[in-house]
Amino acid sequence: MERDDRSVNRRTILRATGASVVGVALAGCTGGGNGSTEQPENEEDSSSTKTAEDESGDAAESSGGSSDFGGWMDNVSNFESVTDATGKDKVTVKVGAKGNGGAYAFAPPAIRVSSGTTVVWEWTGKGSFHNVAAKDGSFKSEQVNKKGHTFEHTFKESGTHKYACTPHEPMGMKGVVVVE
C-alpha cells in the first residue's frame, strides 16, 4: 500500500515538472517582449520543448536569460542576472572589471539589448591583456591591456551571443549578449 502511494506521488511530481517546463517554453515562444500573451499550441510546443532541453544553449534562450545559459555562465563570479539594456542605441561593457579572482571580468557580464544595438567594450587597463571573442567567431577584438581602448559590435540577429576573453576564459571571464 505504501509503495503504491509513493509511486503515485512520484508520477505526480514528474507530471508537475513536465508542466512547468512546457510553461517556460511557452513563455519563451511568445517572445517579442510581450511576455503576457500566452499562446498554448499543445502538441507542437511540447515536442519543441524536448529539443530545447537537448540543446542547452537554446533552452537558456527560451527561458528569457534568467538561467545560466547552458552552463556558460556557471563560473562567472560577477554574474547574477541579465541586465536589461533594451531600447538603447549603445551599451557599454567594461573589460577587466573586478571579478573571477582579480580584474578578470566583463561588467555587466550579461546584457539584454534590442536588435540593432551597438555594444561598446571598454578596457579598464586592469588584469593584464584581454580580448572580446565571440564563441561562434562572429566578432573578435585584439588582445589589449590599455585603459580606454574600445571595441564595438552591432548586434542585428536575435538570439544569445556568447563571448569570452580568450586568455581568461577558463577563469570565468565570459559574457553574453541576448538580442531581442
The count of chain residues that interact with Cu ion, using the rule CB under 5 A, is: 4
C-alpha cell at 86: 533594451
C-alpha cell at 152: 564595438
C-alpha cell at 2: 505504501
Nearest-approach distance from CB 123 to Cu ion, in angstroms: 10
- Scan residues 129-168 and list those touching Cu ion (CB under 5 A): 130, 165, 168
**Tally of CA atoms within 13 A in the half-sphere of 134 that contains its CB:** 15
Q: Which is nearer to Cu ion, 141 or 160 (CB)?
A: 141
**Residue in 53, 3, 2 with CA at minimum distance from that of residue 24:** 53
- Say if CB 132 and CB 109 are below 8 A apart: no
Q: Which is nearer to Cu ion, 29 or 171 (CB)?
A: 171
Cis peptide before 40 (omega within 30 of 0): no
Nearest-approach distance from CB 74 to Cu ion, in angstroms: 18
C-alpha 37: how far from chain center: 23
Q: Which is nearer to Cu ion, 165 or 179 (CB)?
A: 165
CB atoms within 10 A of CB 114: 16
* Residue 107 touches Cu ion, criterion: CB under 5 A: no
Chain residue at closest Cβ approach to Cu ion: 165
Binding annotation for Cu cation: 130, 165, 168, 173
Using the contact rule CB under 5 A, the part of the chain among 37-45, 64-72, 126-134, 149-157 near Cu ion is 126-134
Nearest-approach distance from CB 144 to Cu ion, in angstroms: 10
* Residue 174 touches Cu ion, criterion: CB under 5 A: no
Q: Which is nearer to Cu ion, 62 or 161 (CB)?
A: 161
Task: Give, in order, the Cα–Cα distances in Å from 100 to each of 7, 75, 107, 150, 156.
Answer: 44, 8, 12, 21, 30
Q: Which residue in the set 26, 173, 177, 179 belongs to the binding site for Cu ion (CB under 5 A)?
A: 173
By the criterion CB under 5 A, which residues form the site for Cu ion?
Answer: 130, 165, 168, 173
